[in-house]
Amino acid sequence: MRKLLLLFTALVSLAFAQNQKVRVGLGYIPDVQFAPFYLAVTEGLYAARGLEVEFQHGFVSELYPLLAQGRLDFVVGDAEDVIALRAQNPQATPFKYVMAMYQSVPNAIFSLAEKNIRSVRDLKGKTIGMPGMFGVSLTSLQAMLRAAGLKESDVRILQIGFTQAEAVVSGRVDAAMGFINNEPVFLQARGVRLNIIPAGPYNKSPGNGVITTDKVLENPELVRRFLAASQEGLARVLADPRQGFEAARRYVPNLGEDRMAVLRASVRLYQSAYTRRMGLGFSDPQAWVSSLTLLHQTGRVKTDLPPTAFYTNEFLQPGVQAQTLAGR
């Protein structure tokens, strides 16, 4: 009888342990770009690892304080944010990047084809629309101008908020900094001819990924379980974008078929030469060196912390690839 009671107690304890709630911040609204995480819920990938995942959408500027306070466990955000925030105050914002969703920054400068802006040097004397003078959009612009031997004073920068598509089409700006998997996809689907200059070759920072805190990392098994399911989500969406799109329908109100092109453009950012060696979700150490160097050079960050203070690949499953999971 005593053995049965002990077994029952152990099973109950295990059941509670296997239903651990994990709170994840996604910025900024429900969108097909988050398909790997949505799919990991709808296909039971988190549940199979004993996790109950709850999403909270909002501006990342609102999500990061919640992460620091322990009210969120993970946030999907920019790698650069981790460097900027941890370098500024490691005690208040002890953030660490633990899984790459994108292997390069998704920023791109786009313009109407008739403007003949085919290279960064063609931007000289032109008006560039920017969401604002902040974040990875600004870093990407600075990196692009530096590579072309241009200064910010060689162009006219207009802060336009998130109205890049309208500003380009209306002629309010000559070009705008947007996202390769957003505004250009939207406009080209409507027959607008564009020239697009991706920022990735100039700003070699890691792209968007999963960010957590030193406190959460004190529970390594939780982190490993969450990341393993998220890596599998990446692999499944890469293998079958349509499956990811259908999972996103559960979370994105009135998701139109036109957003499938956005997902396909996003999926192209999941892989790199580094992930083909190491596995999906790994971030290239050299990309962190490049990012920190660029932020130092532009005066955006002052810190003596090494690149390894801001990221780790330690909690990821090596070798996860789309082909290894296709058909599951």
> Is-contact 178 110, C-beta < 8 A?
yes
Residue 13 scores a pLDDT above 50: no
Segment 299-314 shows an average pLDDT of: 96
Separation between Cα atoms, residue 18 and residue 298, nearest integer Å: 46
Mean pLDDT confidence for 16-25? 82
- Whether 4 shows a pLDDT value over 90: the answer reads no
Q: How many CB atoms lie under 10 A from the CB of residue 65?
A: 12
Whether pLDDT at 2 is above 70: no
Please determine, for residue 328, whether its predicted confidence score (pLDDT) is greater than 60: no
Coil, strand or helix: which one is 90? coil
Q: Can you tell me the distance from the alpha carbon of 157 to that of 160, in angstroms, rounded to the nearest whole number? A: 9
Residue 18: the pLDDT is 55
**DSSP string for residues in 124-189:** TT-EEEES-S-HHHHHHHHHHHHHTT--GGGSEEEE--S-HHHHHHHTSSSEEEEETTSHHHHHHT
What's the average model confidence in pLDDT over 2-13? Answer: 44
- pLDDT per position as a tens digit, 37-66: 999 999 999 999 999 999 999 999 999 999
- pLDDT-based confidence at 15, cuts 50/70/90? very low
**Token pair of 33, please?**
């770009």
